[in-house]
Structure 1
Amino acid sequence: MFRLLRPLLALCSLALLAAPARADQQDIAAAARGVVRVVLVATDGGDAYFVGHGSGLAVAPDKVLTNAHVVELTRSEKNLVIGVIPSEGRKSYGGRVVAYSPGNDLALIQLEEGSLPVSTFYAGALGDGQSVTAIGYPGTVDRAQGLSLQQMIEPMGTVKTNGTVSSGRSTRSFDTILHTAPLAAGNSGGPLVDECGRVLGVNSFGSVSDGNDAEFGFAVSWREISSFLRQAGVSATHTIVPCRSMAEAEAAAAALDQGDRDRTEQSERAHAEQQRDAMQKARDQAERDIIAARENFMAGSAALLALAVLGIGAGGLFYTQGKEKQAIWWLGGGGALLLGALLLFLLRPGFSDLEARIDAPIDTGSTSNNAYAWAGDNVCRIDLNRSRVTVSQPIDRPFNWQDGGCVNRDTQFLSEGSRWRRTLAPNDANFVAEQIFDPASGQLVVRRWLPDPDTMAKARALVEKAQVKGCFADADKRTVLATLESDLRALLNGPPNERLVHRCQKGRLTVDE
């Protein structure tokens, strides 16, 4: 029965590998943290009146991108103020328009204070029918919930709607992305993101439906956005690495690792066979050398024996003739030659010392990285085939390694078996990163989580309390660092958003890199 099921199971496995897995929803949640509500409020003395609102996304910690039509009234109505309301946290911020482009419906708002999680754009080609999500603050939802002005100017979660890209159509005035994710008034200025949470465009407007037709949305494309931000002096974070799920990345890495192991095994088998052949040739040569040496010894022994017979015969002849002195010399010489012949015969090489005579071939196999001197400057180059990249720039990184786990002269790693590990929660970034270095393979893996603000604050508090900066060999400090590592990993529920795999080698990054 099992033999009959085996082909079916194999086909099912292939189908699962071939089918694209959906990206993790936590990436969409992470992308939503950079989305804000942009509120216009009119002031009249001590009174404030709600005028309207839209959505926006952070393109720098202190700058928000939105639609020009969202803030259009502020150009003519001087009593209007702009409020920027994050999706998470407890504070709201004021802002002012610093760049305005009605031609492609884009505007840039400068925060008066505060800092926001920055969005990452996808600058690659879009696929027809690919899944997208619109994130923002549709007014229909606000009205359905009966939100007051006070509630609308407090941090509140975003609304997400799903659809697909319908490529091939754009507006005539500027470049847009046509999609089917439902939009409503208030979504304007919010991002349209892919399954990895990267921003594809900024939602601008939707088609009008009488209730019978399908509705479509139009988002300002990256081409328009990049030009606008460049002119405004903003360098937006962007990537061209296609989106894939963590499961896809891990499956691809496992397949590549298996291929590497198979090639290594084949290489080792071929090398072992070469070594066996070389050893056999060395053994054959040693046997031929022994046979040749034995023949030489035997020939020498026979020659000495012949001369010894002649010498002894001559000595006997001289003795019979009464020439005792000559007889002694010849008999002595013949005896010495006889002794030499016997010694040559007895000392002829035997096959018992064959192993000692084998000239073993030198092993020319490649040396393992287990013995590689990583100390000093290294370059760790990202391996996109084994990585899952969402919001980070896929760049190579310098990696100065010192014995004892000191990295880049300022970060202490801890040894865990054959690998070294360190988890970081930077104050100037909204992620927690776990770095794992394996000296045996020269592989550096960086796993990044994009947690919510509360978790990020807890992680930073743990780091601040531990006070384990720099590199050190002190056992007490390493104990504190080990406790910090354990506490940080306990905060990180679920899989990481990113898995960046690097291959390290000796060298230094150049200025161009």
Structure 2
Amino acid sequence: MVRFFALIAFALFASVLQPAPAAADPADIEAASRGVVRVVIIGNDGPELFPISHGTGFSVDQERIVTNAHVVADAVRDDRLDIGIVPADGDEAVYARIIAVSERNDLALLATTEPLGLPPMTIAGNPAQSGPVTAIGYPLNVDRAQGLSFSDMFRAQPPVTATGFLSGRRPSRDFDTLLHTAPIASGNSGGPLVDQCGRVLGVNSFGAESQGSDAEFFFAVSTRELLPFLRANGVTPRINSAECRSMEDLNAQERARELAERNREEERALAAAAALDNRTAELRRNITYEVMDERSNKLAFAFLLLLIGTGAGGIAAFAHRAHDYRMRAIGGAIALVAVIGAAIAWFTRPAFSEIDERVEETLREGMPDTEGSGPIPIASTTGAYTCVLETARSRYVGDPTEDLTIDWSEDGCVNGRTQYGLDNGEWTRVFVPGSEAVVSVNKFDPADAEFIMERYLLSRAPMTTARSARAQYQAPSCGAGQDAALQLGGSQNAILSSLPDMPNERLVYSCTLNVEVSEEAVE
């Protein structure tokens, strides 16, 4: 019995230690929801319109939408019925026409009759077999609970999200499906099932019948069915096969990388300091020997000169007593020169304080001369760069360009046409397009040869705020000078302050300067 309770206690302890599955990133799910639409089948009795049914769809390019075949089945059978598309954010509803229907795997492709500029959703290139998932759509029971009328369906409303778990892939109804527990209801049909990064794993289609006490499971058409269907109908989908990582994880990884780099720099500095200390100690020892040798040599030379002077003085004194004035003059001259030379040798011997002076002077001679060196040559930081995406340091949910070419000039001009702003020593350009709901913040560091692109996938309200801030200034053209670059750097801060704390995507490129091209540009 004791052993039985011990096993139970161990199991409970292990369950506590087991980490809970990570929740979907709300920013990614919100960004993915921008491409989700309500699909309404519309009947008419003269001028009066009335709903027949509705479902969900999502964009695979700016004008084409995927949904279930059974969502548009009534419109296929009766050409008097129309299909309405209601975007999740901002724009009015438009009509759509059917491009293709595949009843076998319950897929349909629609095209809007008027441009909506919908952000295409990204399809997961290596979909997970298990883990947290989110269903996005317009369940009818929620509409009923809110008391929405038919006219309300044609107003933009955010879709409903419901989370669950992926339970694996299962062939069903002659096509490949995903089994999951994210709750869906009538109206969710045709909506996307997404992973934690907001990438499409499948198209929600139907649910398992439950008698109330059984666990509820739901089915989504897998990407094995979706991708061939899209390609067969001329759609090139956005596919992303990267590991799904949160921006918090990426930031933590970047902080760890920066800390490791600082530690390496400190180790190199300590090693350099230790090497300098060893060199200084060796140099001091050698110079001390040199000074001691010089002092000994000059002292010996002074003593020798004193002996010569004393001998010459004695000869001069003897010659004076012998009245040999010629010899007296020679001896006296030699004695005088010897004494003066001895004095010079004595007073010019090096002092011990010269050891430190000689060590410092020798060390200074080994250092590069920085005086008058001027600024860094233009050829070392300007010119054409080839930039390669560092996937390990990047986070993206789309399909980014892996290689870029940047022609950089010293005044912050890129490719001869785009001026970057200078603020707090950073070169930055903020792009706010009018046709796409995304703000891109591009940064280039010529010293580290690093290009970073951060993308904010925004809904209508924050995008309107960003566009309003962008309309308040005019970006200068290339060649306007550093003052214009400084002014642009300050003007862009109004947009940057309106953006969320973290971007949805961060692309880090490592750049290499093409030396041959840059030298030609300098000449």
Q: TM-score, with normalisation over the residues of structure 2?
A: 0.78
Q: Which residue of 1 aligns with 2:431?
A: 424
Question: Which residue in the other structure is 2:204 paired with?
Answer: 203
Residue 475 of structure 2 is aligned to residue 468 of structure 1: yes
CA distance in 1, matches of 2:104, 2:367: 71
Supply the AA of the counterpart residue of 2:120.
Answer: V
Kept after mapping to 2: 8 A contact 1:398/1:508? no
**Residue 344 (structure 2) aligns with:** 343
- Offset from partner CA, 1:257-282 (integer Å, 9 cap, x none): 33332332232222222222222222
1:508 and 1:336 map into 2 onto residues whose CA distance is 70
Percent identity, aligned pairs only, is 34
Residues 348-374 of structure 1, C-alpha deviation per residue, up to 9 Å, x if partnerless?
22223223322217469xxxxx97954
Query: Offset of 1:164 from its aligned partner?
Result: 0.7
- Structural mapping, 1:227-238, within 5 Å: 227-238=228-239
8 A contact 1:443–1:501 mirrored in 2? no
What corresponds to 2:372 in structure 1? none
Given that 1:238 and 1:393 are in contact with CA atoms closer than 8 Å, whether structure 2 keeps it comes out as no
Matched to 1:105, the amino acid is D
State the Cα distance separating 1:57 from its structure 2 match: 0.8
Equivalent residue, structure 2, for 1:116: 118
Displacement of 1:434 in angstroms is: 3.6
The CA deviation string for residues 453-494 of structure 1, in whole angstroms up to 9 with x for no partner, is 2332343244235333534448689658735632x34543x4
Q: Contact (CA 8 Å) 2:390, 2:507: kept in 1 or not?
A: yes
Aligned equivalents of 2:492, 2:336: Cα separation in 1: 91
- Give the aligned residue type for 1:468: A
Aligned residue for 2:490?
482
Aligned to 1:496: 502
* Correspondence for 1:360: 363
Query: Post-superposition shift, 1:190?
Result: 0.8
* One-letter identity of the residue aligned with 2:26: Q
Q: Which runs of no fewer than 5 residues in structure 1 stay unpaired?
A: 1-14, 365-369
Amino acid at match of 1:117: P
Secondary structure of the residue aligned to 1:256 is helix
> Judging changes above 3 Å, is the alpha-carbon distance between structure 1 residues 179 and 349 closer, same or farther for their aligned structure 2 residues?
same
Q: Distance in 2 between matches of 1:22 and 1:371?
A: 49
**1:145 offset after TM fit, Å?**
5.0
Compared CA separation, residues 381 and 21, structure 1 to 2 (3 A): farther
Structure 2 segments unaligned to the other structure (5+ residues): 1-15, 369-374, 516-523
Match of 2:193 in 1: 192
Q: Is the Cα–Cα contact under 8 Å of residues 253 and 385 in structure 1 kept in the other structure? A: no
Count how many residue pairs are aligned between Structure 1 and Structure 2: 486
Cα deviations by residue, 1:308-346 (Å, 9 ceiling, x for unpaired): 556566667777777654664455345434433442233
RMSD, aligned CA: 3.8
Amino acid at match of 1:178: L
Q: Which moved more, 1:106-115 or 1:28-37?
A: 106-115
Whether 1:507 aligns to 2:519 is no
Shift of 1:79: 3.6
How far off its partner does 1:61 sit? 0.9
Cα distance in 2 for residues equivalent to 1:108 and 1:384? 33
Compared with structure 1, are the counterparts of its residues 110 and 497 closer, same or farther at alpha carbon in structure 2 (3 Å cutoff)?
A: same
Distance 1:33 1:306 in 2: 105
When structure 1 is superposed on structure 2, of 150-159 and 43-52 the one drifting more is 43-52
Match of 1:182 in 2: 183
**Conserved 8 A contact 1:138-1:187:** yes
**One-letter amino acid of the counterpart of residue 281, structure 1:** E
Distance 1:328 1:121, change over 3 A: same
How far apart are residue 163 of structure 1 and its match?
Answer: 0.8
Tell me the distance in 2 between the aligned counterparts of 1:415 and 1:148.
53
Distance 1:196-1:371 versus aligned 2 partners, 3 A rule = farther
Q: How does 1:10-89 map to 2 (within 5 A)?
A: 22-42=23-43, 50-72=51-73, 74-75=75-76, 77-89=78-90
